[in-house]
Structure 1
Amino acid sequence: MTPAHSNDELTEATRRKMDRLRLTLRLSALLFVLIGLACAALSLPNGISELNRAGSQSVWVPVDGRVSGYVARPESFPFQPAPIPVRRPLIDYEAGGQKRSYLHPRATDLDYPVGATVRLRVDPDDPAQVTYDRGRASWLAPLALGTLPLIFGLTLGAVMWRRSGDPTFLRTAVHPETED
């Protein structure tokens, strides 16, 4: 069985359509790769800073603290006419033989009742430096969110670029054969 359209039988209009489709596929391939690269570039600094933070704090000593109460402070938010009181947990802990308190900077990370035990990490050189031990790898999310679109863009871009050089695909896409 021979194809309905050989190379000699292609009309000038069909050739123009094929060239336009080839150009569209190649530009789309480049666009997907650029979007993937942009996502990776935007997430990389955050991922690296989180990785550095996690690495530096991994040598900090873990201690248990107790939520002794909550401190409400007014905070301004965009699109809010007046400040809203935000409750932040106050955590008491002991480090270096001294009792200390830590006011968590974000209210959304901790929602523990008063008296609950919370794991903290304390800098052994300066017990006043303390952070909440999240217990998870927070550096992984930014790197994954940037890398996945890059892999998707490279894969889709490669497929589109390859298809743009396939004359059979272009001819079929531009002028599909109809069966009666």
Structure 2
Amino acid sequence: MLEPTEIQAGDVYLRPFTPYDEPAVAEALADPDILRWTAGNAVIQTPAEKRARKWLESRIDCWARGNAVFAIADSSTKVLLGSVTLRDVNRVPQQAVAAYWVNPAARGRRLAARGLDAVVRWGFRARAEGGQGLHRVSLDHALVNEGSCRVATRAGFLLEGTMREYYVELDGRRHDSHLHSRLASDVVEPL
């Protein structure tokens, strides 16, 4: 079980999601790219007016199931700007899988890369220091999602290879995906 955590990283504040985030999540899910690449099939198949609640349901209580889902918020206004997730924490010993999105209105500020970097550093910290003691965090993205590749690279994730026809869209279209990872032993300058 993970303990819900807050992380202050400069002007980025990472915190667990709450039911009060529903309007901002609804706004984000109106973006076709967020819906396409990060929402998941269960959310996509939900009527538009109920998608935010559906998305939040599994994110609010996810910590007890080994998934650390952080809201990226502005540290001064606390306005929701995006999300960074470490899922399946320690399902494979000392490993997790990362995912992220940023609301279109907040793009261009490198929030996803900075949030991802901060959450991964938290994950790598020893448990005795409030972290998770992870050694490896991986992530994948469809090759056609070039923005996600830039986020991964900026946050110090190295490209390991291409997974052929790995990502499957709801309509059955398949895309090759890049696999990236970052190790606790990698030397990455803070963002």
Same-fold call, TM > 0.5?
A: no
Which category of TM-score, normalised to the shorter sequence, fits these structures? under 0.3
Is the radius of gyration larger for structure 1 or structure 2? 1
The structure in which a higher percent of residues are strand is 2
Instruction: From the two aligned structures, give the one with the greater helix fraction.
Output: 1
- Which structure carries more relative contact order (alpha carbon 8 Å, separation 6+)? 1
